[in-house]
Amino acid sequence: MDTQPALDGLVRLTSGLWASQTLVAAEDLGLFTFLSGGSATPAEVAAGTGIAERPAEILLTACAALDLLDADGGRFRNTPVAEAYLVKGKPDYFGDYIRMLGQYANPGWMRVTEIVRANRPGRLLSGDQEEIFEEGTRPRIFWDGLYPLSAGTARVLAEEVDFGETSTLLDVGGGGGAFAVELCRRHPGLHTTIFDLPFVCEYTVDKVEEAKLSDRISLRSGDFLQDAELPPGHDAILLSMILHDWDEARNAELLAKCHRALPSGGLLVISELLVDDDKAGPADAALMSMAMLVGTWGRNYTAAEYHEWLTAAGFDDIRTVRFQAPGANGAITARKP
């Protein structure tokens, strides 16, 4: 008799939205901030967050099942992960990213079948507007939400890729400033220029000032797609989570600009969630590629594709550095001969 494969995996996939939206609801209510440093019963949580006791108990139980809360004798407290990342005011607060997904990114996923059929970002399905990054298309919560993810990724990149001989770095599309800040903290002799759209630079200047790095991080307004050239005078260029937003033709143009902007021996670093060369995974990179389909004209690419494009642009000494970070699983490095 033939044995049917287990259904469990499909059931887990279908309930993925339930888990993520449970986290969105808990964060919107300030649940983890309310519980910080202590514990509470469902009745106390209800009173403290302004909801009824029934949804409070259901939400607390769900968060405990997701390993975000510990339950003990009818009282609930934050797990170490929730205490470290989901309490407002903590240095690594991750709640803005969760809120950004709930308010900005996730609604597009509700139209994913339409998007797959149309081969067009969800935001553009009902209009003629072609620009996906122009002012007003992405709210401040988008940039605030990405900052903790980028900062965590930048710390890993700073350890895994050797920037020790780099004195001047151009961070192309580095809006928010997380990579510039973390790289400068790791390398005291490094000076960085963030090159991004004018309204993004206006937002980023506050982040640079908060980090007390205004003397080492400068901002340059421009459009890396529309401008004929990138700002010269840097011995390294960083493209972090940039190329996945665009198609192959635009990426080739940008890599050619990077090549022209660098001096001989200059370093190019591309940090991304890389798809495996056989395009069978990994899941985080493949699902991020789906997110790019929902929101942009790009996708996540393989290391082999980057090697091919970099070779065509004139780079050599092309290497793949694998690591695991919150927003990336590797970097491609290359040199201008």
- 3-state helix, strand and coil shares in percent for the chain, rounded to the nearest 5: 50, 15, 35
Alpha-carbon distances, residue 175 vs 62, 96, 218, 228, 301 (angstroms): 35, 16, 12, 20, 22
Q: Would you say 299 and 285 are in contact if contact means Cβ atoms under 8 Å apart? A: no
Measured in residues, the chain has a length of: 337
The answer to whether 204 touches 194, Cβ cutoff 8 Å, is: yes
Asked if 187 is an active-site residue, the reply is no
From the candidates 187, 244, 259, 307, which is the catalytic residue? 244
Q: Could you tell me the CA-to-CA distances from 108 to 18, 113, 293, 333 in Å, in that order?
A: 16, 10, 10, 33
Q: In this structure, what token pair is assigned to residue 23?
A: 């986290």
- Nearest partner of 115 among 311, 300, 299, judged by Cα: 299
In angstroms, the Cα distances linking 260 to 48, 154, 256 are 58, 25, 6
In angstroms and rounded to an integer, the radius of gyration of the C-alpha atoms of the chain is 22
Catalytic residues: 244
